[in-house]
Amino acid sequence: MNLYEHTIIARQDTSPSELKQLTEKYSKIVEKNDGEVVKTENWGLLFLSYLIKKNKKGSYIHFKLKCKGNVIDELEKSEAIDKKLLRYLTVRVKKFDLETNYFGKKEDSEKKESAKN
């Protein structure tokens, strides 16, 4: 089994309930093909570097997956025809960083740092 980090960007006008449905939809595709979703992170609505299909912002959802390569093919095939998505990206990694929350609020990370010291 390979380790992958997979990020999708949904349109800025996608509601929170639709984002939850998207997360469940793609998690089911992975699990149906004998893969495992290790962690799912909702990074929220962020500005894009440039306009994509006339959108300035996008809702980012990040998955950490443990699966075979054919599962990624199925996932990306389904995402390519989804009108709610702007972009998707899959990166193969050697190990997961499950500790760091890159898109959490700075106050939360500072509290954790002070608690460790």
Using alpha carbons, select from 43, 63, 59, 80 the residue that is nearest to residue 11.
59
pLDDT at 87: 93
Is-contact 62 10, C-beta < 8 A? no
DSSP E strand boundaries for 53-77: 55-67
**For the stretch 59-87, what's the b/e string if a residue is b when 16 or more beta carbons lie within 10 angstroms of its beta carbon?**
bbbbbbbebeeebbeebeeebeeeebbbe
Give tens-digit pLDDT for 59-78. Answer: 999 999 998 888 899 998 99
Domains of the chain, start order: 2-116 (3.30.70.60)
**pTM for this prediction:** 0.82
Quote the radius of gyration of the chain (alpha carbons, Å): 15
